[in-house]
Structure 1
Amino acid sequence: MFQALQAKLLPHKYAINTAMLGDQHLLAWSNLGLWQAGDDYRHACQALAIHLANLIDLNSNDILLDLACGQGASLQLWQNSYKIQHISAVELQAKHVTQLKNHALFLNSILCDSFLNLNSNSFSQKFSAVLCIDAAYHVNLNSFLNAITQVMQPQGRLAFHSLMLSEEFLNLKAWQQKKYAYLLKAADVNLKDLMTQNELHSSIMQHGFQELLIQDLSEGVLLGFADYIQHANLDLQGLDGFKIAMTAKMCRKLWQDGLVRYVAVAAF
């Protein structure tokens, strides 16, 4: 019922009211954030992006592709802090793409499409670095990797956030797993697409990568976002506010149970 109502009233299922969360900039952040005590929303979101970029040693020589770039705060970060000269992006929400074409003139190119639809003809050049902040867990990992590897250079580096099943999750009864499936579906995550660490490792290596790094960020992301929403005295009104509150509730549930982990993944 909530998903049907959301589809009618929100411009896109991934739309989020970033101003309500605390970022009123034109090129705003829109992720769960990597939180430390005293952080505001913008700082936590930037911290999540920086952590991911640093896992692959992002640098000024890179030809970078930013997947699901949202309203563009990450693109501005890559240009200003990492001094990257060649930046391309993919974003599904047409409203954001139009805004970025008008206000992020430093971009080499931006594609309005799902990152699952990428192929060798999507861009004029291939990328040495590909980043996907807080979005890849919405799709099947193998489909994601099949698309992304087509636009990467042979020695390219990839970093993304994912949700990973703990081994304990596999011991749950069928009805308990089904409860998780419904919980995750409300956030547009298909439980059947999630993997354990061993499965994640195997899938990534099968796509030609030689090295893999997985870091568990559950406390800083899931608990951090939930605590921020609980204590920040935000004015969570209407459907936008309800969506934010429900996201925070789900984050706290995942953190408390510890069966689904929020991880950063880097593949080389």
Structure 2
Amino acid sequence: MTVVEFRDSESSTRRILRWVREWGWFASLVFVPAIPDRFSRVYDDILTASNWLGEESLFFNLGYWKDNPRTFDQAGAALARLLATEAHLGPDDIVVDVGCGFGDQDFLWADEFGPKRITGVNISAKQVEIATARAAELGLSDIIEYTHGSASDLPQPSASATKVTALESALHFPSRSRFFDEAFRVLAPGGRLVTADVVPLANEHVSSRTSRLRPLEKLVHGIFTTSRQNHTNAEEYRQALVTAGFKDVRVYSIRNHVYPQYAEYVNLKLRQPEMRRINPLIRTFFGRRGVSFWAPWLDYIVATADKPPSGDGL
């Protein structure tokens, strides 16, 4: 199945009707109190394949642009490779990929890093269905499976994985701290958690020009974090991992290789006629104008954290 097959060919009338439905679904989110249900609806009904930027993939991340990738697909793949490299992913690994989207990073990891097993966990039933179909189409069902579940209550036995990953998904979790606890439980001793995540930028790193617009800060943080429990800057993120029991915690920023290049690319990309399929509100929010609104308040981090080996005093 190609990416195009997940995007209906639409007449202009059908496209407008879809946009109206999406606007209605977006407005209805205010009446969905449970955070997992809210984000399940976002990804089932609004941020669908028809509303995203990939041409040959269904990557739903902002990408890693350090080495000047030419396309959104390549930038998404570069971010997936960065996580796999930080995880030291290899043939003996059993991976739990939390917030797995449509599975593109899992397919790349299976092809390039050859782990023994990957289980993708997602709160979106529709994405689980599509990712499962895509894995079967690629002949990867023997090593990749997808399951519906929450990051706050992972459907895996304790000490059953060597690696846990969350590629630009933990910002949507009800509580990162709860997810860190669950990742620690699921990992075998000596296992590693790796995340790529969007978090509030620490105040000392916000430019003086931006800091004059403080009323916007809470709005942006409210959009990109699910609750006060997730209003966590990079240092607080590191402390939360330590509190969960992890050792050798490393948290570093890659925002300078994400937001500027993404904004430049998407500014050109959205001028293409094919991009008219994307909902105008989403085009605005994820386009250059939207990035200039929200990126000054946000960091983009990569975190690695190890569960101590057996006999390490825990």
TM-score normalised according to structure 1 size: 0.83
Task: From the superposition, tell whether residues 225 and 181 of structure 1 become closer, same or farther in structure 2 (CA, over 3 Å).
Answer: same
Contact 1:180 1:191 in 2 (8 A): no
2:41 aligned partner:
12
Q: Is it true that 1:260 corresponds to 2:298 in the alignment?
A: yes
Matches within 5 A, 1:1-268: 5-6=25-26, 12-14=41-43, 15-18=46-49, 21-25=52-56, 28-35=58-65, 36-37=67-68, 39-104=70-135, 105-118=141-154, 122-123=156-157, 126-139=160-173, 140-162=175-197, 163-168=199-204, 177-187=214-224, 189-190=226-227, 193-232=230-269, 233-235=271-273, 236-237=275-276, 240-248=279-287, 249-255=289-295, 257=296, 259-268=297-306
Which stretches in structure 1 are left out of the alignment for 5+ residues?
A: none
Task: From the superposition, tell whether residues 244 and 127 of structure 1 become closer, same or farther in structure 2 (CA, over 3 Å).
Answer: farther
What is the total number of aligned residue pairs between the two structures? 262
TM-score normalised according to structure 2 size: 0.72
Shift of 1:8: 5.5
Task: From the superposition, tell whether residues 60 and 234 of structure 1 become closer, same or farther in structure 2 (CA, over 3 Å).
Answer: farther
Distance in 2 separating the partners of 1:171 and 1:226: 18
Contact 1:21 1:41 in 2 (8 A): no
Contact 1:62 1:86 in 2 (8 A): yes
Distance in 1 separating the partners of 2:79 and 2:217: 25
Task: From the superposition, tell whether residues 244 and 223 of structure 1 become closer, same or farther in structure 2 (CA, over 3 Å).
Answer: same
Contact 2:158 2:187 in 1 (8 A): no
Task: From the superposition, tell whether residues 192 and 125 of structure 1 become closer, same or farther in structure 2 (CA, over 3 Å).
Answer: closer
Distance in 1 separating the partners of 2:207 and 2:69: 37
Contact 2:98 2:121 in 1 (8 A): yes
Contact 2:162 2:187 in 1 (8 A): yes
Alpha-carbon displacement from aligned partner over 1:42-82 (angstroms, at most 9, x marks no partner): 10000011112211211111111111111111111111000
Choose 196-205 or 81-90, whichever is displaced more: 196-205
Which stretches in structure 2 are left out of the alignment for 5+ residues?
A: 1-21, 30-38, 136-140, 307-314
Distance in 2 separating the partners of 1:265 and 1:124: 22
Task: From the superposition, tell whether residues 239 and 45 of structure 1 become closer, same or farther in structure 2 (CA, over 3 Å).
Answer: closer
Q: CA RMSD in A?
A: 3.2
Relative contact order, CA 8 A, sep 6+: which one is greater? 1
